[in-house]
Structure 1
Amino acid sequence: MAPAGCCCCGWGGAVSAAGAAGRLLALLLLGALSAELHPGALGTEYYSPLSLLKQELQHRQQAAPGAGGGGGCDPHSGDWGDQPSASFLNFHDSSDCEPKGSPPCDSLLSLNAEKILNQAKSLAEQKRLPFATDNDNTNEELAIESFKEALKQKADFIDAYKSLGQAYRELGNFEAATESFQRALLLNQNHVQTLQLRGMMLYHHGSLQEALKNFKRCLQLEPYNEVCQYMKGLSHVAMGHFYEGIKAQTKVMLNDPLPGQKASPEYLKVKYLREYSRYLHAHLDTPLTEYNIDVDLPGSFKDHWAKNLPFLIEDYEEQPGLQPHIKDVLLQNFESYKPDVQELICVADRLGSLMQYETPGFLPNKRIHRAMGLAALEVMQAVQRTWANSKVRMNGKTRLMQWRDMFDIAVKWRRIADPDQPVLWLDQMPARSLSRGFNNHINLIRGQVINMRYLEYFEKILHFIKDRILVYHGANNPKGLLEVREALEKVHKVEDLLPIMKQFNSKTRDGFTVNTKVPSLKDQGKEYDGFTITITGDKVGNILFSVETQTTEERTQLYHAEIDALYKDLTTKGKVLILSSELGEADAVCNLILSLVYYFYNLMPLSRGSSVIAYSVIVGALMASGKEVAGKIPKGKVCWSTSIDFKLFSSVLTHIKAEVVLFFFPLQLVDFEAMTAPGSEAFSKIAKSWMSLQSISPSYKSLPSVSETFPTLRTMIEVLNTDSSPRCFKKL
């Protein structure tokens, strides 16, 4: 049965003997409609259900007569070689993809739907899983039931255990996925595909040592497995083992693609990782306050890395090689830390867990949790010192802290938690690149593919577009305004706007754009450019509904001026607050913190991680004001309605005669809440509704200084590596 209060959409027809294949296709359809990158996920990783089908296709290709390799999991084989990897997706900003100049980047929603469905039809015809289930349930759960049924019929079905583990991983169920992968390996300890998948899951869960064991075993069995080699190097570097890490990276670099062969994502990324690894190693024992990555790294290197371009940089001078006198990071035992530092780590773990999205599809990453929890505590301590008129040392200078310094605290922790992702300030890019702008692009509807993650915001965006259309016609066509208003009242879907615009505006041919505005607090009545909404269509009724932000120098300066003014006001009121106990002062400071971050979210000034960085600053600054965030970010619940056109899928659904019911659970996305709020006051109200603010515990005052306890890159990596689970579990 559908959950209470949840709409659903189904197709009639009895579930036949091909029902299980239908369940698998249902999972595929869910993936095709919901898969996209969301870097703004806070301390999580999102897995697309498309990867289940992908793994099945790869297994078939490798098992076919004449197939090369030893059964490894190469994400670039066969027809999927031209598609982005769907096995795991990195958490960046709300842009869902990498910022690029021109043209803007595409999300995974640009996958060829016809191609995907043809593959699904082939699987359905072969009836690889010929059994049915009768439960009304979510598609991931139905797929899991199907794999379990397969194991009842054949208890030693390794691929079923592997696929079951992958399905649980898709749901973000780490424990169940681990158990299924383990059972597959008990049947065949040399199953390369399972080793690779389990290693990837462990890395993105923050269990780097365990992940490394899987990648090493994978390479023993399949020495030229490029994914395992890259991930081995990445795991070593993340743990501070630079010698072994760079050795593995160099092996990937030597694996040049053959003439006419497309380079793998690992091959394209590895030189950036190797250069960044060399830089980190050289600064391993340098105080963090004495250098600045955004200044030190060459501009062209940062520009290409942020845009994920091939490493073709003119006149690039490589970073110095590893220096023998700088030793690798050693594993630090949790018990070797003093009791007050142990308490600091446990508190950080708890704070970081508040940044976890509680919904199927997001795998908790305990390494990110700890990093951003420590970031929040360091922000708290730095802000408190600033309000007490103390200076801070940043980038080799001692001065009063500015708002960027506050965010830089979170940036440094986010960077080192996962060195695979370039977390860079966009305004520090070369002037030539910044003048062109960096586009962050999100497809909301592309043809028949709907981005379900943002479905909760469609109605809000629709109302905004209607209002802007009325404003436009009020200024340019006042006589026809009533007719336009009546027509818009009948529009309930975004896709119905395009015919209306064509009817009342002769300039509208293939589509139109609408710019959102962000009201200024500094200059009443002034507005800044928010994001751009684009709606275009073709003759057969397919539409592209997308949003994008463009980070240009002029736009950045306007937002910086707004944030500067808010930060100045925040510092003034913060100084008053520490000398006063009046409730009104605390509320004013809270609103200023949320307003400042509201403009940060709308600016999106980082190449990655803006969302989790901003949220950790919120948590830390609020603690400095005496308020502690006790609530978690809530999840929404939205389902498909029958108004969505499924004609693209009709032939396949008819072919397998499967009954499909799809449920979706989109989130309240903190960054998108800010971007779609009518102003900072509205965003503050929404944020406070879930934060459950309470008075901060007095014990926070006795915690040691984060910046003094972990003053170097080496000490930061050590604390992220240490296992605190036995002690912190008891404390929490």
Structure 2
Amino acid sequence: MSTKNKNTKISKILDQIDIDQLKVLIDEVGVVVLQIKNYGTLNIGNPEFDESSQEDSESSYTTSESDSSYSSEESSYSSESDDEELPVQQEQEKINPPNSVNNDKIIQSQNKGSDTKNITKEEINKNEKEKTKKFEEEQLKKAQEVIQKKVNACSVPKKVLRVEEIDEDDDVFTKNESETLKAAEYVAQTKQLQNGTNNPVIDKELAMGYLYVNNNRVKEAVDYFTVFLKKYPNVVGAFLGRGTALAMLSNFEKAIQDFTSAIKCDPKCGDAYKRRGQTLVACGKLYEGLEDFNKAIELSNGKDGDCYAQRGSVYQMLKNYEKGRADFREAVRKNSMDFNSWNHLGLNNNALGLVAEAADAYARALQIKDDFIECYVNLAQLHKDAGNFQRSKDVFNKLFRMQPNHSNGHYICGVLYQQSGYHLAAIKEFTLAIDNRTEPISGIEKDPERMCEAWRYRGVTRSASGQFRLAVEDFERAMELKSDDTAWYMKEIALYTHHHLNKSFEEWDLESFYPFFKEGFCKHLIPAALHRYEEQPPFEESISDVDEKSLPSQNVINRIIIPAMNIGKYMQYDSQGFVHNKAQYLMAGMAAIEMAKKIRDVLPEWVFGGLTEEQAKPYIGKLHWRDVMKIAVKWRQISEPNDPVYWIDLLTHEQFEEGFGSHTPMFIGQTRVVRYYCQYQRAFEIVKKLLPEQLKIKEDWAEKVKAAKNIQDILDVMKSDFHVTTPCKSLYFDDPDKPGTKRTYEGTRLVVEIKQPGYEFAIKTPCTMPRWKLYDEELTECWKNIVRLVLTRKGKKGEDEALLRAMFDFTFYWYNFMPLSRGTAATGFVFMLAMLASLNYQINKHIPKGMQTDWEAILCDEPKKFEDVMMGWMKDSITQFDVESVPDFKRVLPNVRSIIECFNYCPQVKCE
């Protein structure tokens, strides 16, 4: 392109400049740069400018060619459009005129009429160059004079507009000047953040420090700001910049000092409070950080959404999820595109037990940022905890397509499979989590507790699938990280089961373990505290582990596993938090079938009945209820080695006297426990009723309790922990102190304990020796009544209902009794399945949505109410089942190995 053509274009460009907008730009930013490829360089506003002045970094502010430029249509720098940079070509299209002048035509017009016959080509070119240069100088001078006159009225020293030529390949700026120019633009972009001085010279120097911070050159930033502060000791922005750099270097104490200095310089600097708050939180001083965030929000008049997000994070750390949730809701209200705040809103909702609200928040975050890895992890875990296996699995699949080696993701996915009974699949996930534990972001190695859990969980799933040697290795790795981990107990059980692999299931007996061992496992006591316990012997070379590829015979699959699972699947609660576990289906079905066969073997008359009352008497005491229930307990034990399931009266004598019991919370701190919060309102109403009766409180307190809307309202009255005990009325025994009145047992305790922030609302059922004796007597009578009704049935109308009600009575007292360290709910339902199977029946209808049969019993004060609830759905769901069609377990499942093979196979069975 010729110089003439270039000058013509520059003239047209200058003609298009809106001087009024130019004034605003220069006044607002202090610098405007128009970058025009191959057009030459004009300095507008400073007639003394020449090429050498480019090296004067203190004479003007400019932006680098790689950053956003202003077109003549822009009037001011808008922070809202920082992320909407236009490519250089698009910026040029705004400036360039639509048509260009042809160079040849310009030359022709300049030489028209000249006699060129005796002039050489070289002379023509020389003359043209001289004319072109002269023309360029004249045009440049005129353009400068015209625009200088127009801008003189508003021109500010050191504030300039430059029109720069940019070659196709060459960078017009030197490295140092480029950094200075970037720094100048950084000032404009972060003007409010830095609390600039409005002095262009000082702000430009200040910007250089911020550029170091922005580019993670933090050590250089500290040195730079230190020198700067010696020169300008009271510049707030410098203290903020150096404090930020120091915090990035984890030098928190000095960073706090700098932010404090910034506050002293400007007590109304909200940004200083916010940054000091962040640093205080990083030091673990959460409450001091909260105070600073409160002040920052006050100074920003509540307009800074990031302040709410920062404060919300602190509340989240303090487990004050209600306040955290409120702050993150405010943060996303102010900035709906803040995906991090949406993610944290989801975390707080999840912690509060608000599953649907948490899922919505995570979805919003992923709509904004569809590759937000950690949000996918949180969403998958949410679905896992809510019992939505398939949804959780689908999210994990998407996560692993994006990041196949996400260690923490594989760990949580492993827990999902383990809780669902897919032990072999869980092993693979835990292995991936462990193999990738050193991943920089997702690696679990940096979290010793989670790393310990990963080793232990893999050991549990390997143990459950019969891979005992590898399981023990994993348990030992867990103990290396945490010497008192429960992995020690699991290792002992794995070794015990290994030694019994080729023995009958009858010989496998966890209750044979030393009582202190069982108590320690239940309470997670330090193994070193056990006395007189002899550790299991090492592995025997002659006993091989279970091969995961070994399958049960087709006969076992068709005649035992499938029928058993079709019975057991109806134990599933259709309630939030309860995942479908096929191993537990198999456990329930196998236990029910074996219990039914046991009853029929001991009592042959059970099958047909028809006896008189007198004839039935010799058989009624022949089989004790515990002989039946211990079968269910045993199947529950082998189905999940992670769970310490034991009879409480077989723990230590001291523990039995103290009253070992179950503990199931509905509400913790501020968290609605996913599984059991649905029972909160009903239990709360019972507390309101029983508290004035059992605690004998003042009348005015009683009135306040009566008017309470939740447990917190009652705590505000009581000011301390308290509990009430639900009554459980006897069906067969009178109260010796009140003739004609039925005996009342202690049901369960509804316990309220202050847990800051908030409280815990739970059920606790201590099994003391006197209580055990009373429930044993009641259950014995319930069982005798069932036996009597079965043996004397004549096929008359109403007999089936009477039998069902008797079955419900036993289950009612079993649930209230809570005789196991855990597993009472599952084994109680198994009892009902077994009773039906023993009579050649089974249910073919799932438990109604939201119903949890154990809670129905616990929150009823007498069996008749529980009977009515259960009859309401079960009586119409009973169908035929031939229990004799199932082969004898002892014959087709001769040893523990064959039973473990059944559990390994059961995930392949479809159960709808």
- Separation in 2 of the partners of 1:131 and 1:234? 36
Deviations 1:473-531 (A, max 9, x none): 9xx99xx99x999887656655555788x7xxxxxx84654332221222132122212
Q: Which residue of 2 aligns with 1:691?
A: 874
- Separation in 1 of the partners of 2:413 and 2:548? 23
Change (3 A) 1:318 1:180: same
Q: Which residue of 1 aligns with 2:729?
A: 519
What are the ranges of 5 or more consecutive residues in structure 2 without an aligned counterpart? 1-79, 81-247, 251-281, 285-315, 344-349, 439-444, 446-450, 608-620, 735-741
Change (3 A) 1:139 1:718: same
Q: 1:254-269 maps to which residues of 2 (within 5 A)?
A: 254-256=480-482, 268-269=485-486
- Separation in 1 of the partners of 2:665 and 2:367? 41
- Give the CA deviation at 1:362: 2.7
- Does 2:650 correspond to 1:428? yes
Change (3 A) 1:567 1:707: farther
Give the alignment's TM-score, normalised by structure 2.
0.55
Q: Which residue of 2 aligns with 1:387?
A: 603
Match 2:885 to one of 690, 694, 702 = 702
What are the ranges of 5 or more consecutive residues in structure 1 without an aligned counterpart? 1-16, 18-63, 67-77, 81-109, 257-262, 392-398, 503-508, 636-666
- Separation in 1 of the partners of 2:393 and 2:706? 52
CA contact (8 A) 1:333 1:723 kept: no
CA contact (8 A) 1:586 1:625 kept: no
- Separation in 2 of the partners of 1:701 and 1:182? 43
Change (3 A) 1:128 1:65: farther
Q: Which residue of 1 aligns with 2:471?
A: 245
Q: Which residue of 1 aligns with 2:518?
A: 302
- Letter of the 1:712 counterpart: N
2:749 is paired with a residue of what secondary structure? Answer: strand
- Separation in 1 of the partners of 2:753 and 2:576? 32
Change (3 A) 1:686 1:251: same
- Letter of the 1:429 counterpart: L
- Give the CA deviation at 1:555: 0.8
- Letter of the 1:676 counterpart: L
Q: Which residue of 2 aligns with 1:602?
A: 816
- Separation in 1 of the partners of 2:714 and 2:822? 33
CA contact (8 A) 2:727 2:746 kept: yes
Answer 1 or 2: higher relative contact order, Cα 8 Å, separation at least 6: 1
Q: Which residue of 1 aligns with 2:424?
A: 209
Higher radius of gyration, 1 or 2: 2
- Does 2:411 correspond to 1:196? yes
Change (3 A) 1:584 1:65: farther
CA contact (8 A) 1:334 1:724 kept: no
Match 2:436 to one of 199, 221, 224 = 221
- Separation in 2 of the partners of 1:79 and 1:232? 35
- Separation in 1 of the partners of 2:466 and 2:787? 37
- Separation in 2 of the partners of 1:418 and 1:333? 20
Match 1:287 to one of 487, 493, 504 = 504
Q: 1:68-107 maps to which residues of 2 (within 5 A)?
A: none
Match 2:902 to one of 714, 719, 727 = 719
Change (3 A) 1:407 1:332: farther
Change (3 A) 1:277 1:116: farther
2:481 is paired with a residue of what secondary structure? Answer: coil
Q: Structure 1 residues 592-601 or 626-635, which shifts more?
A: 626-635
- Separation in 1 of the partners of 2:867 and 2:317? 37
- Separation in 1 of the partners of 2:666 and 2:427? 37
- Does 2:899 correspond to 1:682? no
Q: Structure 1 residues 604-613 or 321-330, which shifts more?
A: 321-330
- Separation in 1 of the partners of 2:654 and 2:731? 31
- Separation in 2 of the partners of 1:723 and 1:364? 13
- Give the CA deviation at 1:604: 0.4
Q: Which residue of 2 aligns with 1:617?
A: 831
The structure in which a higher percent of residues are helix is 2
- Give the CA deviation at 1:378: 1.9
Q: 1:357-376 maps to which residues of 2 (within 5 A)?
A: 357-376=573-592
- Does 2:445 correspond to 1:235? no
- Separation in 1 of the partners of 2:713 and 2:325? 32
- Give the CA deviation at 1:679: 0.9
CA contact (8 A) 2:670 2:757 kept: no
- Separation in 2 of the partners of 1:200 and 1:229? 12
CA contact (8 A) 2:339 2:365 kept: no
- Give the CA deviation at 1:700: 4.0
Match 1:532 to one of 740, 743, 749 = 749
- Letter of the 2:500 counterpart: H
- Letter of the 1:414 counterpart: R
Deviations 1:98-135 (A, max 9, x none): xxxxxxxxxxxx99533896699689699443679xxx
Change (3 A) 1:115 1:724: closer
Q: Structure 1 residues 272-281 or 680-689, which shifts more?
A: 680-689
Match 1:278 to one of 495, 504, 511 = 495
- Does 2:525 correspond to 1:314? no
Q: Which residue of 2 aligns with 1:24?
A: none
2:579 is paired with a residue of what secondary structure? Answer: strand
- Separation in 2 of the partners of 1:297 and 1:425? 12
- Give the CA deviation at 1:314: 2.5
Q: Which residue of 2 aligns with 1:100?
A: none
Deviations 1:679-715 (A, max 9, x none): 1121111122232444532544422234543343212
1:113 is paired with a residue of what secondary structure? Answer: coil
Q: Which residue of 2 aligns with 1:178?
A: 393
- Separation in 2 of the partners of 1:433 and 1:368? 29
- Separation in 2 of the partners of 1:625 and 1:188? 54
Q: Number of aligned residue pairs: give it.
A: 562
Match 1:585 to one of 799, 810, 818 = 799
- Does 2:625 correspond to 1:403? yes
Change (3 A) 1:202 1:454: closer
- Give the CA deviation at 1:420: 0.9
Change (3 A) 1:674 1:186: same
Change (3 A) 1:568 1:699: closer
Deviations 1:603-662 (A, max 9, x none): 101111110111011111123234422222223xxxxxxxxxxxxxxxxxxxxxxxxxxx
CA contact (8 A) 1:626 1:695 kept: no
- Letter of the 1:319 counterpart: Q
1:523 is paired with a residue of what secondary structure? Answer: strand
CA contact (8 A) 1:438 1:551 kept: yes
Give the alignment's TM-score, normalised by structure 1.
0.67
1:530 is paired with a residue of what secondary structure? Answer: strand
Q: Structure 1 residues 140-149 or 377-386, which shifts more?
A: 140-149
- Separation in 1 of the partners of 2:647 and 2:896? 19
Q: Which residue of 2 aligns with 1:377?
A: 593
Sequence identity percentage: 24
- Give the CA deviation at 1:174: 2.3
CA contact (8 A) 2:520 2:527 kept: yes
Q: Which residue of 1 aligns with 2:85?
A: none
Q: Which residue of 1 aligns with 2:301?
A: none
- Give the CA deviation at 1:274: 0.5
- Separation in 1 of the partners of 2:362 and 2:635? 40
